[in-house]
Structure formats: C-alpha cells, structure tokens
Amino acid sequence: MITVKDIVEEWLRSKGYTGLYGEECGCEIDDLMPCAGWDNGFDMCHPGYKHGCPATCEECSYDESCDMDRDFTSWYISGDK
C-alpha cells in the first residue's frame, strides 16, 4: 500500500529536491519525515536542497536561526539551490 510519505518522496525526487525543511529542522529524502506526522508541524515543511555547512557554527550565516546540533550533523536543507 502506498503512503503519503511514499508520494512525497517520489515527488521530491522527480523535481530534483533532496529533502524537506522547516523553521527548526530539515530532513533528507533517505530519512524523510522523522517528525512522524502532522502534530509535529509536518504541514509547515517545504521542499529543499541539502548543503554542507560553510563554516563553523560561530561563523555560519545561519547560526542565529539554527538550532541544529553541529556535533550531530554538518549539513542543512534550505530552499536555496
């Protein structure tokens, strides 16, 4: 049975996106929707592209609005291609 997650994944791939992003998070297609549903704000997600972090957290232009655990990951997803 096809799921909404399957439909979103197929659409993202067909349009060349690499994941989803929101105000406080981002996820790659291969780990899509770890928030697991609407209660966590999935309806606020946007298609986006994966980028490597350009610098250390202190130097990153996304630092002010970013809550990412930089020890956990060195990438982010945004609407910029």
Domain ranges of the chain: 4-78
Quick one: average pLDDT of 36-49? 73
- What per-residue confidence (pLDDT) applies to 40? 58
- What per-residue confidence (pLDDT) applies to 38? 53
Residue 59 pLDDT more than 70?
A: no
**Exposure letters 46-75 (e unless 16+ CB within 10 A, then b):** ebbbbeebeeeeeeeeeeeeeebeeeeeee
Q: Distances in Å between the alpha carbon of 14 and those of 7, 8, 9, 53, 64?
A: 11, 10, 9, 25, 32
Sorting pLDDT into bands at 50, 70 and 90, what band is 18?
A: very high
Residue type, 35: C
Q: Among candidates 3, 2, 28, which has minimal Cα distance to 17?
A: 28
Residue 22 pLDDT more than 90?
A: no
Quick one: average pLDDT of 20-36? 82
